[in-house]
Amino acid sequence: MQAALEQLRTLLAFTPAKLGGISKAESEQRPGPGRWSRKEILGHLVDSAANNHQRFIRAQAEPQITFPGYAQEFWVSTQQYQREPWKTLTDLWRSYNTHLLHVIEQIPETKLQHQCSVGGAEPVTLEFLITDYVRHLEHHLRQIFGR
């Protein structure tokens, strides 16, 4: 858990400047048909933050909880991230994740073992959801910067 927190802190320290170095044209370019642009990937990460924010809070209220799944393609296409200004998305990503870091830091250790089921999957702990969120974030940031 501490490693995930440190990694999120590191990402928040260095990622915004790297995102700021991506041009409008680069942010909108799709690597292939049916593939997301950098804007859409970052929008997906904002959606992930929003979905996980709910989970991180609600999971503390009950020792066992079930959450709906997340239809990522629908969320990204419905919100039309390709039309959103890059700076707006980067600022939103930074702000939301800064807040999530704060939220995670406030979670009592006793709540980290609460059981959470997402989209009908087998239950996992709140701690797992948090570490998986950071792993997911890293994965998609590598996609954004790896092009």
The DSSP line for the chain is -HHHHHHHHHHHHHHHHHHHTS-HHHHH--SSTTPPPHHHHHHHHHHHHHHHHHHHHHTTT-SEEEE----HHHHHHHHTGGGS-HHHHHHHHHHHHHHHHHHHHHS-GGGTT-EEEETTPPPEEHHHHHHHHHHHHHHHHHHHHT-
Under CATH, which number does the domain 36-145 receive?
1.20.120.450
**Do the Cβ atoms of 39 and 143 come closer than 8 Å?**
no
Considering only CA atoms, give the Rg of the chain: 16
| Cα three-residue angle 114-127-70, rounded to 5 degrees | 85
Task: Give the contacts of 73 (CB within 8 A, at least 6 positions apart).
Answer: none
Each of the 147 residues of the chain gets a pLDDT tens digit; together they read 899 999 999 999 999 999 999 999 999 999 999 999 999 999 999 999 999 999 999 999 999 999 999 999 999 999 999 999 999 999 999 999 999 999 999 999 999 999 999 999 999 999 999 999 999 999 999 999 995
* Domain map (residue ranges) of the chain: 36-145
Query: What local confidence, expressed as pLDDT, does residue 147 receive?
Result: 59
**Token pair listed for 100:** 């999530």
Q: What is the pTM of this model?
A: 0.95
